């Protein structure tokens, strides 16, 4: 699969990096928050883990698969136009509610 492939969702690494890891970090953060309220030692260690490991995962993603993070010129232009349309529609919805 090349970087321009539209079938990245078939790759199991896609699910691990973009779905499973963020969800597990979020659930661990919620668990650590409860542990910090109870002044637990494992919660302190968990927050240090959550402060370092997600950053390390993002750095490794940028180093080893930059096409997943940085778009080409045509992809960036398409994303910008899509984002522009979303903001225009959101503005119109807010104006119509006022």
Q: pLDDT of 35-77, one tens digit each? A: 999 999 999 999 999 999 888 887 887 788 777 666 666 766 6
Structure confidence at residue 1 as a pLDDT band (50, 70, 90):
very low
pTM equals 0.55
Pick from 38, 14, 16: nearest CA to 25: 16
Domain ranges of the chain: 1-64, 71-98
């Amino acid at each position: 699969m090349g970087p321009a492939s539209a079938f990245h969702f078939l790759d199991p690494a896609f699910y691990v990096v973009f779905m499973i890891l963020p969800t597990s970090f979020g659930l661990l953060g919620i668990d650590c928050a409860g542990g910090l309220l109870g002044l637990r030692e494992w919660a302190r260690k968990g927050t240090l883990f959550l402060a370092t490991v997600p950053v390390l995962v993002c750095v490794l993603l940028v180093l080893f698969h930059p096409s997943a993070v940085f778009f080409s010129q045509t992809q960036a232009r398409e994303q910008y136009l899509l984002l522009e349309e979303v903001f225009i529609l959101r503005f119109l919805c807010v104006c119509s509610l006022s």
